Amino acid sequence: ADDGHVPAIVVGSGYGAAVSALRLGEAGVRTLVLEMGQAWTTPGPDGRVHCDMLNPDRRSMWFKDRTEAPVNGVLFLDLANRPIPRYAGVLDRVNFPDMGVYVGRGVGGGSLVNGGMAVVPDRAYFEQVLPNVDAAEMYERYFPLAQRMLRVNSIPAPYFEGSDYYQYARLSRTLAGRAGYGTRFLPNVYSFDYMAREERGEVPKSALGTEVLYGNNHGKFSLDKGYLAQAVATGNVTIAPLHRVTRVQATASGYALTVRQITAEGAPVAEKHLTCDHLFLGAGSLGSTELLLRARETGDLPDLSDEVGEGWGPNGNVMAARNNHLLEPTGFKQSAIPVLAIEDPARDVIAEIAPVPAGIETYVSLYLAITKNPNRGRFTYDAATDRAVLHWTAAQAEPAVAAARGLFDDINDANNTTYRYDVFANRQPFAADFCYHPLGGAVLGRATDDHGRVRGYRRLYVTDGALVPGSLGVNPFVTITALAERNIARVLAEDLA
Ligand code: FAD
């Protein structure tokens, strides 16, 4: 059965996908966006679209029996996680043997669940990671474009210094300073103007109401409000939520896709067969890599290169938890949006000061350290489960943990403080067995050409985090957005003119 032909199909609706959809729509190309998650527009019975972190319900996670929050609880109480009905919730944790990968599910992809930190990488490191990309063009043109499109803003210093909700960050800055470490502010796509109004009680609380991870009901300029809304407004772009692409085959002039549509409860609705001339994969590092790997290994796209599945990394992600003195509390009010990072240039670590919005004083300081771990994992295709399997071991994470430990040992020594063992599921003060920043699997210039055109095929493109070889040194979405802008500009000019 043939359910129709569209000139362009975009798989997924995260950063790479959203950029591609908008620019295709603006260029007059009729485009269909297929997203496996929901369109998060309809309020639940409580009048809210998303649930908060302290009261997770079925909206929180993608078809799980129990929530799998990164922070397990404090004082060995399982405060955060609880049983939930299986549902097309907004956050997924895809579990491989030594690595759990958090990803967003829904129209907007990771932008729905993430912390909004919008950080441009250090230029020298960017040039090292993606040597074939013209860095001057990126830093002069595409990073600024991405920042504008994503509405990146910075917290006003007086607000940061005066708000009870950032006491936890100011405390960590003081403790780091005693050990000789400096800090830097991190820009964000969460509106700090909105946050100030939350604090004054003028608008409903979101960042100041423990919302992040399972979505923000207010304040955050996610892709569904920006790029994707603009794409639909061109009149050329349609978004089909709860549509998961399971198979990609080549046709004489383009591609044929098998798509499974489900209800939000998971019941099958239809299996569809669609064709297109140009196919853009924006299903994320895990999703796009899996589609390509499956196609190569099952013989649907046998000419894909051996590089598909290679070059994966968790952006050196390590979480860490420290304990503070009774006289130096972190505050029971905590903004869910991180804005400050400790810098350790000698060890190449930035440690983002993360909230523990438990609603009570926990004396815990939590950090997301981004390190430059050079180790890389790879995916293989498992025919029995029809899934891509990530090969990444705990040993490969060790350089990341060692770098983070060096920094936090110094901070503990300078302050006579200790680590916390009750925060992560592994009962260790460091957790490198999960990540928020999956990168790679279809690396630019290897599995694709220097503009994301997949090697071995025509009119087939990777647009997302799969292009980045495992590490950026900072949070990745500004880079993914800017790279997608750069690539689609070239593709529109040369392939669709
Ligand atoms: P994604 O945004 O992952 O989008 C891929 C989309 O494709 C998803 O919506 C998915 O459901 C869909 N999809 C997958 N497979 C299929 C399929 N077969 N068919 C149809 N659809 C499919 N980054 C930052 O820069 N700053 C931060 O503060 C930050 N915080 C984060 C916090 C959390 C909790 C998480 C999970 C991530 C965070 N990140 C952050 C990372 C950032 O969100 C990701 O790097 C980014 O979203 C990746 O963009 P992408 O375009 O590669 O794909």
Ligand 1 site, residue 11, Cβ cutoff 6 A: yes
Orientation of helix 477-494 relative to helix 15-26, angle to 10°? 30
Q: Is the ipTM of this complex over 0.95?
A: yes
In the numeric block, the tokens 């001339």 are attached to 277
Q: Residue 303 has what pLDDT?
A: 98
Residue with tokens 């003195």: 325
- The pLDDT, as a whole number, for residue 79 is 63
> What DSSP string runs through 360-411?
S---EEEEEEE------BEEEEETTTTEEEEE--GGGGHHHHHHHHHHHHHH
Give pLDDT tens digits for 51-66: 998 899 999 999 999 9
| C-alpha span between 76 and 74 (Å, rounded) | 5
- For CA atoms 460, 461, 466, 471, the dihedral sign is positive
Q: What is the mean pLDDT of residues 324-349?
A: 97
With tokens 């527009």, the residue in question is 41
- Residue 425: its pLDDT value, please? 87
Buried-state track 105-137, b at ≥16 Cβ within 10 A, e below 16 = bbbbbbbbbbbbbbbbbbeeebbebbeebeeee
Ligand 1 centre to CA of 184 (Å) is 25
5 catalytic, yes or no?
A: no
**Rounded distance between C-alpha atoms, residue 129 and residue 126, angstroms:** 5
pLDDT of 3: 83
Query: What's the pLDDT at 357?
Result: 81
- What SS3 class is residue 175? helix
Nearest to 9 by CA among 33, 28, 25: 33
Residue 218 falls in the annotated catalytic set: no
- Return the percent helix, strand and coil in the chain, to nearest 5: 25, 25, 50
Mutate to test the pocket of ligand 1, among 114, 189, 370 (most ligand atoms within 8 A of CB): 114
Contact 111, 104 (CB under 8 A): yes
List pLDDT tens digits, range 199-238. Answer: 999 999 999 999 999 999 999 999 999 999 999 999 999 9
Q: Convert the pLDDT of each residue in 136-187 to its tens digit.
A: 999 999 999 999 999 999 999 999 999 999 999 999 999 999 999 999 999 9
Please state the atom number of ligand 1 nearest to the C-alpha of residue 463.
51
Q: Which of 278, 437, 451, 485 is catalytic?
A: 437
Could you give the angle at the alpha carbon of 89 between the alpha carbons of 10 and 245, nearest 5°? 30
Cα-to-centroid distance, 324 and ligand 1 (Å): 33
pLDDT, position 75: 56
pLDDT score of 49: 98
Q: Give mean pLDDT, residues 20-28.
A: 98
| Ligand 1 close to Cβ of residue 102 (< 6 A) | yes
Instruction: Please indicate whether residue 272, judged by its CB atom, sits closer than 6 Å to ligand 1.
Output: no
* Binding site membership of 377 for ligand 1 (Cβ less than 6 Å): no
User: Is residue 187 lining ligand 1, measured as CB closer than 6 Å?
Assistant: no
Tell whether the model's pLDDT for residue 309 goes beyond 90.
yes
Burial class (CB in 10 A: 0-12, 13-18, 19+), 245: buried
One of 243, 352, 451, 485 is an active-site residue; which one? Answer: 352
Cβ–ligand 1 distance for 12 under 6 Å, the answer yes
| pLDDT per position as a tens digit, 283-300 | 999 999 999 999 999 999
Cβ count near 387 (within 10 Å): 16
Count of C-beta atoms within a 10 Å radius of residue 4: 10
Determine the pLDDT at residue 73: 67
DSSP 188: B
